[in-house]
Chains A and B, each alone.
Chain A
Amino acid sequence: MARKPQSRTRKTGRRPTARPAAGRMRAPKSGVILRMYRLGHGDCFLLAFRGARAKPVYVLIDCGFKPGSNGPDYQLGTIEQVVDDIKAATGRRLDLVIVTHEHEDHVNGFWKPDMPYFADFEIGAAWFAWTENPEDPLANELRRRHGDQLLGVVAARNRLAAAGADAAAARVDGLLAFELGVEPAQFLAEATARKKDPRASVNQQGMKLIKDKAGSRNTRYIIPHQEIMRIPGVDDVRVFALGPPHRADLLADTDPQGAESFAGNGAGARVSFLAAATASDARGAQQIRPFAERFSRPIGEAFDDPEHGAFLSARYGVAADAAQVDLGAESASNAAWRRIDHDWLHSAEALALGINRGINNTSLVLAFELPESNKVLLFVGDAQRGNWRSWTEGGWQDGEKTITVRDLMSRTVLYKVGHHGSHGATLLGTEQDDDPNLSWMGHGKYGGEFVAMITAVSKWAQSIPKPPWIHPLPSIKAALIKKCGGRVFQTDTAELAAPQAPDAGWDDFIQRTRISDLYFEYEVHDR
């Protein structure tokens, strides 16, 4: 039974006076109701399933945002408003909290040193990907490497900043913030003061809060394709984990195809190499020099070398450039513009990107299946290509029959779009392709209901300087709009633009949708 749609509480350009109706969120008689919080450039989803004795069971998936991407500037909610709303909606009791992966924009809403947002919640259970399991050797190895890589990139970033390459340093900072949970400058200030380990990040603290509240007995580290799971307190909804793959190489996804022998080598190797080069202790740097010492001269002394100093001075610009160039003369061999002192540090940017992708690929990917209609809600976190491609590596035995990923995806009626709709986080393809992609979703009896949810604040992402972030990628957004017949929610867009020729289900879709400044509320009926 659909409730009457509330009138929209917002008109463009004006702050709403009325806050959304505070009160318990009720689970529908059949199916699930879901709030996609408009918390900024990041994810926060609250789902209410119908539990035993009609008691609602609350599931929270992620809570985070990029600082600066929400609030009045973008006519969106703030973290305080969102937490208040979750409190009111759930009565401070979350039956299950799911954390997809350890990035600022998915976890920084849980905890902050001066504001432990979720401290007064009761948390029944917590689900993480196996990558968070302290007892999984592979996970520990990945985390150790992640820490090393971060140190390397942080060191390179400092050298870039010291060299005055501000734009490059800023780009690296933009990526580092995801991993550190705070702005790198702030992190570094604290780090020098307290010898801080990047692994003790705000992200980690937030995740720890969830684990502590749920208790180790109720904290589950999930390996995909292992069993069909149930939400505590909900008997009939089944949950399938598709990713992240329990394999190091696919998580890193740095290797081209046909390279099984190279488990997880790419970015890791490169970062360690760079880290060693940027290491402060001389021994570390010495170890990885490519040639025996007798072949080299330290750069500082080389210019005074009796034998080779003249060559260097003539060819490797120590002389300052003349303020004005003599156009008639050929360009000087020792001109400063030909030097390459910092070019190698620009690799740091690619490496930071590699780390970021690596963590995105640790995203826990879950499919929730409703009992009657068998409709599926697919939450992919920020999974990128490597994670997507691994989904089909397993299936689930359900009595006589096997449930495949293709089957689950074809029944999907709600897709949480990966990584703000970016390149590589929603794979496009055809239904016939062997690798999972958007075309696999939304088929069958309920295919016409298919909706997509993009957690992106485009305008904010565009404001990232040099170069701006393109979230969502127009080609992906266009593919989604086409696929969904216009049923696409995007954090920053309050108006649901009806397509020119809305299909027969459009009115029903609107009936099941409520929009406020704080969230999109959407019901999926189990029939």
Chain B
Amino acid sequence: MSTTSSSVPPHRRLRVYAFDPSLALRLKTVPIHEITIRLPWEDLEPGPAGEYIEVVDVDPASGVVYPPVNLNDPNVLAQDGLRPSEGNPQFHQQMVYAVAMATIGQFERALGRVALWAPRRVPPSESPTRQWQIQFVRRLRIYPHALRDQNAYYSPDKKALLFGYFPVLGKDADNTPGNTVFTCLSHDIVAHEATHALLDGIHPRFTEPSNPDVRAFHEAFADLVALFQHFSYPGVLRDQIARTRGDMSSESLLGQLAQQFGRATGRGSALRDALGGPVNGVWERRKPDPRALEKTTKPHDRGAILVAAVFGAFRLLYAMRTADLLRIASQGLGKLPAGDISPDLANRLAEEAARSAQAVLQMCVRALDYCPPVNITFGEYLRAIVTADVNFNPDDDFARVAMIESFREWGIFPRGIRSMSIEALTWPSGAEVFADAPIGTDGPAGRSIVSRSQDVEGAARAIEADILALFDEQQADGDESDPSAGQPLRLSKWDLDTDRHEVWNNMQRNRRAVWRWLVHGKGRKYARAFGLVLEDLDPAKLQQTIYRNDWGDPSIEVHSVRTALRRDSRGAIQTDLVIEVTQRRRGFFEREEQESADRGPAFDPEQDGDFKFRAGCTIVIDTTRNAFRHVIPTPGTIADDDELDRVRAFLTQADDSSANAFSGLRRRSLRAARDGGLNEPFALLHQHEED
């Protein structure tokens, strides 16, 4: 990089509250209440509005607009942004921008690709094709003062974060009546909501609850990112390490989320605490409980268990990596003498903590590429974490063993797994899948292309050739609703340097290319082994409720085509291709209705059921060896009635999470949902919980 005086600076430094404004008013935390975040430099317009984010500060409840901050103003630039202030809305704008960008940075570093927001779904009424289409959304919108409520949420429909503010009316040691609490000034709440948006950009279907873990996963993941971000701020980290004498299982700000919000809403403590919480007024560490998951169906409670499990893994890793330091510091006793620890030790411990936290967070983020495309469960997420780590750190087992150990202590395990070993948890490769499953058919005749008896090498060569066809050949046939029908398509390389819109366009073209390869091309024969249902092997049996294409075969959607980073045995970074494929089926709340609908007659394509049952598969392709590196199917195919029953049972049971005295059930048919007015899945979930 050039270092001439005229080049743009590499970073922009911005001051923010390390946690929230409440820390500035406690003697213990005054020194760490403010931090300076370093962000990659980007051209910013007032707002701030940059490449990823635009802050628009309208406050409809007060009937006013707060003019946008100009972070390029030399006076502002020269002092690392505006001074932290509760009373100046322009600082609020700066803070949401800075924290959200830091969060995006975590993702991009872990995934090695640019972050994309979920596209806008354009309704048929506005779409040129008169069908649902998608459109690129470059910037996530942030409204720092959108609501007058104890709430903040990500709106998937508006691609926006909405933050609320509310008055404190209580009077106690933590609160002064008349003060206003701004959720947008809580580092953790901003990071949490930004993570919801990032996760939605990768897995839009993870906002559809189809089992008790889906919503919980969204919450837990957002909490994890916010939590581990604490460890990337050296000043805060050193202070807290020194204060807790390096003990990660004692009460610490590092493990807590949203202190001010928690206190202002009457909890007397932080909103969430990954480590423990007050028991009869005294903080106590939460001990792993392998039965904890069985006891609750509430998303936040379940999410807390996943957070605790991941945080537990971090503690194990940190303890292992600092054991030597503690031995040195304690002359081999392993137990530190009473009193403050040496600043040198604090620095070294902080370094290890930061490294371990970074490792765990990156594992968690990378795992997103190894999840099934829909219907995520905690157990499957563990498999994704292990698989991601095996791919990225092939030679270092410690982190994944810590993860498995901690998950086991919390009773999280995948359904139907033979052992909790790394080998068993890693998602199977194509070769392993083809060894077990009835292998591909080519057309309705059900002719076997690769059979068990054939030699393994020959099979691998055949697969290699088929994958090569995806990369090298034009994918000719198109589908009728494909705007590029008729034109040949070729899979194009994912380019990291171009404009994000171009990256997105590329991804759309690649989706079509993969679709053609999978439906009409050489990929078709593998579909069955992947758990996809492409045709009626026994037409009489296949359920009519499965969504079908124009010629009556079950339709498939190539949901996403993206890249994932992997390190090969020599330590070089390789790029794998991740393909997500899903299928849909109409689900009905009443089993009888389901059965009769399954039998037929055929559905009108526009006609929906009460809910959508989805199944599919994530395929990871090794682009250097042209092999199916991992095959990650949902537990059942789209034709699997048991899995559909499971989803129905979940949707029709009582819902503790959002139940109130009037609507106690989770079920909400598609028809009701569409004209139900407010469609904000996270708004209700984030509403300050009341009973």
Contacts and interface: CB of A to CB of B under 8 A. Distances in A.
Contacts of B166: 269-270, 273
Interface of A: 165-168, 171, 174-175, 253-256, 258-259, 261-262, 265-270, 273-274, 277, 285, 288-292, 295-300, 302, 305, 307-308, 311-312, 315-316, 321, 323-327, 329-331, 333, 337-338, 340-344, 346-347, 349-350, 353-354, 356-357, 360, 384-386, 419, 422-425, 464-471, 473-475
Nearest to B280: A258
A268 B64 CA distance: 25
A475 B652 CA distance: 11
Interface string B147-163: 11111000101111010
18 contacts: A267-B690, A270-B150, A273-B166, A289-B64, A290-B59, A296-B67, A298-B63, A302-B67, A343-B678, A344-B60, A344-B164, A419-B661, A422-B661, A423-B661, A465-B672, A466-B675, A467-B676, A474-B654
Interface in B262-280: 265-268, 278
B96 to A, nearest CB: 15
Contacts of A261: 170-172, 266, 268
A308 B65 contact: yes
Given A330-B501, A346-B678, A273 B167 contact: yes
Contacts of B56: 312, 315-316
B458 interface: no
B128 interface: yes
A185 B469 CA distance: 66
Contact of B65 (A168, A297, A357): A297
A375 B139 CA distance: 67
A473 B654 contact: yes
B230 interface: no
A377 B134 CA distance: 60
5 closest A-B pairs by CB:
A167-B677, A259-B266, A423-B664, A261-B172, A296-B64
B73 interface: no
Contacts of B126: 321, 323-325
Contacts of B66: 291, 295-297
Contact of A325 (B122, B159, B182): B122
Contacts of B265: 256, 266
A299 B64 contact: yes
Interface in B116-144: 120, 122, 126-128, 133-139, 141, 143
Contacts of B675: 167, 466
A356 B663 CA distance: 13
Contacts of A295: 66-67, 87-90
A316 B58 contact: yes
A167 B677 CA distance: 5
Among B65, B68, B162, find the residue whose CB has the most chain A CB atoms closer than 10 A.
B65
A35 to B, nearest CB: 26
Interface string B48-68: 010000101011111111111
B529 to A, nearest CB: 34
Q: Is the interface of B mostly helix, strand, loop or mixed?
A: loop
A423 B654 contact: yes
Contact of A347 (B64, B148, B663): B148
Contacts of A269: 166-167, 169
Contact of B661 (A302, A315, A342, A384): A384
B691 A325 contact: no
Given A167-B677, A255-B266, A315-B49, A423 B660 contact: yes
B668 interface: yes
Contacts of B150: 270
Contact of B89 (A265, A291, A468, A471): A291
Given A262-B172, A311-B46, A469 B662 contact: yes
A307 B60 contact: no
B660 A290 contact: no
Nearest to A268: B169
Given A308-B65, A340-B58, A467 B672 contact: yes
B325 interface: no
Given A262-B172, A330-B135, A331-B137, A347 B147 contact: yes
B550 interface: no
B146 interface: yes
Contacts of B169: 265, 268-269
B181 to A, nearest CB: 10
Given A312-B65, A325-B126, A327-B128, 7 more contacts: A167-B675, A316-B58, A338-B159, A340-B143, A344-B164, A346-B680, A357-B690
A340 B60 contact: yes
B659 interface: yes
B436 to A, nearest CB: 40
B397 interface: no
Contacts of A291: 66, 87-89
B687 interface: yes
Contacts of A274: 61, 148
Interface string B101-129: 00000000000000000001010001110
Contact of A333 (B54, B149, B653): B54
Nearest to A174: B662
A357 B690 CA distance: 10
A330 B138 contact: yes
Contacts of A470: 662-665
Given A267-B690, A342-B60, A302 B146 contact: no
Nearest to B499: A330
B302 interface: no
Contacts of A469: 662-663
B165 interface: yes
A324 B128 contact: yes
Contacts of A265: 169-170, 266
B662 A325 contact: no
A302 B65 contact: yes
Contacts of B687: 350
Contacts of B665: 470, 473-474
A480 to B, nearest CB: 14
Among B56, B165, B659, B690, find the residue whose CB has the most chain A CB atoms closer than 10 A.
B690
Nearest to B127: A325
Contacts of B676: 167, 466-467
A171 B661 contact: no
A477 B611 CA distance: 25
B683 interface: yes
B644 to A, nearest CB: 20
Contacts of A165: 677-678
A330 B137 contact: yes
Given A258-B267, A353-B660, A344 B149 contact: yes
Contacts of A259: 266-268
Contacts of A289: 62, 64
B170 A262 contact: yes
Contact of A344 (B64, B146, B688): B146
Contacts of B303: none
Contacts of B593: none
Contacts of A343: 60, 146-147, 155, 162, 678, 680
Given A266-B690, A311-B46, A290 B165 contact: yes
Given A258-B278, A289-B64, A357 B138 contact: no
B63 A285 contact: yes
Contacts of A425: 661
Given A262-B266, A353-B660, A424-B691, A299 B58 contact: yes
B616 interface: no
A521 to B, nearest CB: 29
B35 to A, nearest CB: 24
A467 B266 contact: no
B277 to A, nearest CB: 10
B473 interface: no
Interface in B638-691: 653-654, 659-665, 668, 672, 675-678, 680, 683, 687-691
B383 interface: no
Contacts of B660: 353, 357, 423-424
Contact of A277 (B61, B88, B182, B690): B61
